[in-house]
Amino acid sequence: MSFNFRNDKAVTRENTADEMTVTLRPGNVVFNTSDPEVLSEFWAALTGYESRPLFGEYVGLRDPSGRGPNMTFQRRDVDDLAPGRCHVDFYADDPDDVAERALQLGGDFVRRVSEGGVRWVVLTDPDGNEFCVVMSGSPDRVP
């Protein structure tokens, strides 16, 4: 099985994970909800997190101390809320390298996304749980 994340090289599960050194940290916890504003108010009150600006219909919170991961609330239809209501985003300098490593370790590629000036890769772990690897590049998105 081969995936081409970049135009210059194919990705295969046979590549060795030793070829890449990537440091990841959980950078964002994403909640699917029919009402992002209301759910973000709940989590802000519970955690003490404060608002962070995002694009489109996304609502965001951040840890004022800068230690904890961000939180993002994305609007989803009620019918889409059953599985995967919450997932983790990892921040990386090179999401493609992380995607390659995930494939080598038994994960699967779902899709690539570019929205609002942000680029990310959606993957699943070996059990089918989705997670995203987001291109770092802003002060609130560092690996």
CA distance 6 to 2: 12
Homologous superfamily of 22-135 in CATH?
2,3-Dihydroxybiphenyl 1,2-Dioxygenase, domain 1 (3.10.180.10)
The identity of residue 107, as a single letter, is G
Identify the burial level of 133 via C-beta atoms within 10 angstroms of its C-beta, where 0-12 means exposed, 13-18 middle and 19 or more buried: buried
Per mean pLDDT, which range of 19-28, 84-93, 116-125, 126-135 is the poorest? Answer: 19-28
Domain boundaries, the chain: 22-135
Q: Quick: pLDDT tens for 49-61.
A: 999 999 888 999 9
Q: Quick: pLDDT tens for 1-48.
A: 445 555 445 555 555 445 555 577 789 999 888 889 998 998 898 889
- Structure token pair of residue 110: 């779902």
Q: Quick: pLDDT tens for 65-100.
A: 998 999 999 988 766 555 667 888 988 888 998 899
